[in-house]
């Protein structure tokens, strides 16, 4: 009989071709094409700057300050997975440290996103293993449970499902439902091309910012 508070669901496999659609895209552009309503906030990158993150989410929800089920998720993961941990935003105990980072790296995880605290932070800053967390705490975790794996979790107040596509860079992390992947990727590629054209216009002295006064006239701030 399953004990209340402990739940391990089957993994949700995501088509690798959908994940690959986001390779090389900036997180900010992807976020813009998610309606600017989604994506994490308040999580900081603790790894070496310039390191990208991309992969499907293996989700974990734990009691604040307890990492038993995170260890279980590390057993279950496959190469390329991103460990996405709902730690209730608690900062009074670290959920992840250097030993777990090394285990995750050895098993081929693409990175980790933690709505909670980490420790041994110097080991992350010197490394290219992507790690995003809400903060740092030297105090170690409990290992009693409860917790759940491959369930819907809350990261910075947004829902992330197992199998969602995780993309991250120096600006932060965003999450894309596989059902939306092609539309979001296509729109993001188009926006990236448009931004490249703007950069060229700036360099050539052709930048058009007429929209600023047009917007102010529409709001009756400037005369028509």
What DSSP line would sit under 62-123, residue for residue? Answer: E-TTB-HHHHHHHHH--TT-EEEEE-TT--SSEEE-HHHHHHHHHTT--EEEEEEEE--HHH
Question: Residue 41's pLDDT is what?
Answer: 83
Assigned token pair, 68: 């038993």
- CB 172, CB 25: distance < 8 Å: no
Tell me the DSSP string of 109-159.
--EEEEEEEE--HHHHHTS-S-EEEEEE--SPPB----EEESS-EEETTEE
pLDDT of the chain, 224 residues: tens digit per residue: 567 789 999 999 999 999 999 999 999 999 999 987 667 789 999 999 999 999 999 999 999 999 999 999 999 999 999 999 999 999 999 999 999 999 999 999 999 999 999 999 999 998 999 999 999 999 999 999 999 999 999 998 889 999 999 999 999 999 999 999 999 999 999 999 999 999 999 999 999 999 999 999 999 999 98
Give the strand pairing for 111-118 and 131-136: parallel
**Distance between CA atoms of 52 and 48, rounded to whole angstroms?**
10
Model-level pTM? 0.93
Which CATH architecture does the domain made up of 6-178 adopt? 3-Layer(bba) Sandwich (3.50)
Per-domain residue ranges of the chain: 6-178
């Amino acid at each position: 009989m399953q004990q209340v508070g402990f739940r391990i669901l089957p993994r949700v496999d995501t088509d690798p071709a959908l994940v690959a659609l986001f390779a090389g895209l900036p997180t900010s552009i992807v976020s813009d094409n998610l309606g600017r309503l989604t994506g994490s906030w308040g999580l900081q990158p603790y790894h070496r700057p310039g390191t990208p993150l991309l992969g499907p989410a293996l989700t974990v929800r734990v009691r604040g300050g307890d990492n038993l089920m995170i260890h279980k998720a590390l057993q279950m993961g496959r190469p390329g997975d991103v460990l996405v941990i709902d730690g209730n935003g608690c900062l009074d105990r670290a959920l992840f440290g250097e030993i777990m980072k090394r285990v995750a790296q050895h098993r081929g995880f693409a990175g980790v996103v933690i709505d909670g605290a980490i420790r041994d932070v110097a080991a992350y800053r010197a490394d290219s293993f992507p790690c995003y967390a809400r903060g740092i705490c030297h105090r170690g975790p409990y290992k009693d449970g409860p917790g759940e794996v491959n369930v819907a979790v809350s990261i910075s107040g947004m829902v992330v499902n197992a199998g969602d596509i995780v993309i991250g860079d120096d600006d932060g992390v965003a999450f894309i439902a596989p059902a939306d992947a092609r539309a979001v990727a296509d729109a993001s590629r188009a926006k990236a091309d448009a931004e490249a054209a703007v950069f060229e216009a700036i360099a050539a002295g052709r930048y058009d910012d007429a929209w600023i006064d047009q917007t102010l006239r529409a709001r009756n701030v400037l005369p028509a």
